[in-house]
Amino acid sequence: MASTLIADLTWYDFAERVKEDPIVFLPIGSVEQHGPHLPLATDTLLPLAVAQQVADRVGGLVAPPVAYGYKSQPKSGGGNHFPGTLSLDAGVLIGLVRNIVNELVRHGVRRIVLFDGHMENQWFLVEAADLALRDQAMLGRTDVRIVKLGYWEFITKATEKVLFPDGFPSWELEHAAVMETSVMLHIRPDLVREELIPDDPAADFPPYDIYPFDTRPIPPTGVLSSAKAASAAKGEAVLAQVVPDIADALIKAFEAPTS
């Protein structure tokens, strides 16, 4: 079976595949601390793995990921002050994704998924998509469609109960905790330091922000709630549910009329 990874293809292969009007996935992650037990590339590895499985289902292609993302925020990622967290300014991320989208379209791609793995990226991906579509409209191309999604948004209430039988904290506080650790244990157990999985109490943030940010409510590990309940079986359950659901949703999204 031919690879779904664009980086593995020759240009001849790519040109032939584009003729089939494939859905092309662009995973966008980050280089961000994920506690003492997960690698800095977690937010890139996870969407890349999920995108590959979805692409297999829909006959799509996966572009090389954008490995850097917007600045880690204290309430959802622990914060940009943690060593090893290498982030982009908003304008840089917007320009980079806009440029990649325009390049894909230049080579004949018309169906693109911005496959986000880092919560802080989301509004900048909206701007990148908007500007790229404006660029294409100015060139007379009106047949380009872009879908933006975060794979975690497809996790159903039933799967949440599998992950969090004792109650769901919030996706913001789930940073480097049960879900991400579980999926990493399933797809890349070699990169998970199980003996260092933290059991921190959930961070307690006030309902406002002060700048410079007060880092005292952030657990010293950078993990915003306990990851002790993570398991490879839970990670497998997440992918078993979200992959077909994302595939079905994308088929509907790209087949739907534009107006």
34 among known catalytic residues: yes
Which residue of the set 120, 174, 186, 200 is catalytic?
Answer: 120
32 among known catalytic residues: yes
Which residue of the set 116, 118, 174, 200 is catalytic?
Answer: 118
Which residue of the set 43, 116, 174, 200 is catalytic?
Answer: 43
107 among known catalytic residues: no
Q: Which residues contact 214 (CB under 8 A, 6 or more apart)?
A: none
DSSP-assigned states of every residue in 105-172: HHTT--EEEEEE--GGGHHHHHHHHHHHHHHHHHTT----EEEEEEGGGG--HHHHHHH-TT----TG
Nearest to 135 by CA among 186, 94, 82: 94
Which residue of the set 32, 116, 174, 200 is catalytic?
Answer: 32
175 among known catalytic residues: yes
* Residue 35 near residue 223 (C-beta atoms within 8 A): yes
Which residue of the set 37, 116, 174, 175 is catalytic?
Answer: 175
20 among known catalytic residues: no
Token pair 């879900």: residue: 179
Which residue of the set 34, 116, 174, 186 is catalytic?
Answer: 34
Burial environment of residue 236 by CB neighbours within 10 A (0 to 12, 13 to 18, 19 or more)? middle
Collapsing DSSP to helix, strand or coil, 228 comes out as: coil
* Torsion angle of C-alpha atoms 248, 250, 252, 255, degrees rounded to 10: -140
81 among known catalytic residues: no
118 among known catalytic residues: yes
Which residue of the set 37, 116, 174, 180 is catalytic?
Answer: 180
Residue type, 147: V
Collapsing DSSP to helix, strand or coil, 67 comes out as: coil
- The residues that are catalytic are 32, 34, 43, 118, 120, 175, 180
